[in-house]
Amino acid sequence: MAPMSETQTVTTSTEQKVLPTYEEIRRAIPLQCWEKSLPKSLFYLVLDFVILGSLYYAVPYIEGYAGWTGLLVWYWFMGMFGSSLFVIGHDCGHGTFSEYPWVNDFFGHVAHAPILAPYFPWQKSHRQHHSYTSHIEKDRGHPWVTEEDHLNRDWITRHFAKIPISGLFRWNPIYTIVGLPDGSHFWPYSKLFTNNRERIQCVISGLACAVCALTALHLCNYSLYTFVKYYYVPLLFQGLWLVMITYLQHQSETIEVYEEGTWNYVKGQVQTIDRFYGLGIDNALHHITDGHVAHHFFFTRIPHYHLIEATEAIKKVLAPYPGAYKRRAQFDFVLEYLRLNVKLDYLIGKGTGILMYRLPENVEKLKQKKTN
């Protein structure tokens, strides 16, 4: 079965009573939110490169005055603004950077290759995540863990996510290079790819990343220590930011995950959570944090600079449906990320159509459902 697009939503009459239809939500979006501006997109791309370049210019002074403490702070901001750059490539991958596919693909590589994110392979795995958000089997990029999966894992795999520094490695190398769980994004014969066109695209994106890495190595005078310290470690922090952002967009105590037969597009997307980080972070990250619900509903149509306006429209449509729109003020986002990784271990309810995390209140809900 081909992935369901955002315009192929099927909703039964029973489900329409508890959620609006996709068309109702779409009609509420202001017309200007659909407009894609290449000059505006290029502005944000250049802005992110300027900020990252400025941070590189400043690092000798930061390290000189503050030592390793200053360097750790520098890593943190490099990770944040590296994730901002990722969001621009993310727009390219969804086709919202401009109206021209070839322009999107070109600048997608410009944004993603320097942070060693293989553009075409990521585009494929990420699109399936959007097409099947909160589907227990088809939602790529978010490895939903059932009780059976959890019990069949070894101790390290079972508890790895609970280790605070694990987030540094869960994007690169674990997800993109090693390929857990979707397949390597760098190896053309990994399970992620099903035809030669996709394999060729994998090679193209991989070569773009290799060129950037070799350029960085050259700028580091071929010193592996310097390369790791000033290039690869900042990328690990960019991966940490990306893991935190993505995790908090899709995980909470109340989240629901659906099996085949009970899932549909609208039900899946309303399991997405808008998190407001504050302190200007949401602006710096191009509103991928506090405008994520709108992005999920219309991922191929709304550029990041229209997400907040679209969010306000979606909130009004979802307002009559208690709990449908999920938003959290998350100033303590790092602590919340760490807390949920410890608390949320696996999903229960397999075979009932709806799965929830193994928490006392959810166990009680499932008991009541079985009784009814």
Convert the pLDDT of each residue in 98-110 to its tens digit.
999 999 999 999 9
Alpha-carbon distances of 189 from 37, 138, 199, rounded to whole Å: 36, 20, 7
Contact between residue 107 and residue 36 where contact means Cβ atoms under 8 Å apart: no
**How far is residue 72's CA from residue 69's CA, in Å, rounded to a whole number?**
5
Cβ burial of 172 (10 Å; 0-12, 13-18, 19+) is: buried
Q: Both tokens of residue 214?
A: 């070799």
The pLDDT value given to residue 370: 67
Do the bridges between strand 354-357 and strand 326-329 make them parallel or antiparallel, or are there none, so unpaired?
Answer: unpaired
CB atoms within 10 A of CB 160: 15
Structure letter (DSSP) for residue 5: P
Q: How far apart are the first and last CA of the chain?
A: 32
For the chain, how long is the longest CA-to-CA vector? Answer: 69
pTM of the prediction? 0.93
pLDDT of residue 141: 73
Q: What is the pLDDT of residue 143?
A: 75
Kindly state the tokens that stand for 222: 């071929």
Q: Strands 257-258 and 354-357, how do they pair?
A: antiparallel
Residue 356: what pLDDT? 95
Identify each DSSP E strand in the chain by its residue range: 257-258, 273-276, 326-329, 347-348, 354-357
Number of other residues whose CB lies within 10 A of the CB of residue 126:
18
Residue segments in the chain with a per-residue pLDDT below the cut of 70: 1-17, 370-372
346: left (phi over 0), alpha (psi -120 to 50) or beta: beta
CA distance 71 to 60: 9
Q: Name the residue among 175, 196, 197 with its Cα closest to residue 129.
A: 175
Residue 193 in contact with residue 203, Cβ under 8 Å?
no
For residue 143, give the 3-state DSSP assignment. coil
Among residues 138, 271, 113, the alpha carbon closest in space to that of 205 is found at: 113
What is the spatial distance between Cα 225 and Cα 228, in angstroms, rounded to a whole number?
A: 5
Backbone angles phi, psi at 357, to 5 degrees: -70, 150
For residues 93, 46, 280 and 286, what is the CA-based torsion angle, rounded to 10 degrees? -20
Sketch the domain layout of the chain as residue ranges: 22-371
What are the φ/ψ torsions at residue 190 (nearest 5 degrees)?
-75, 170
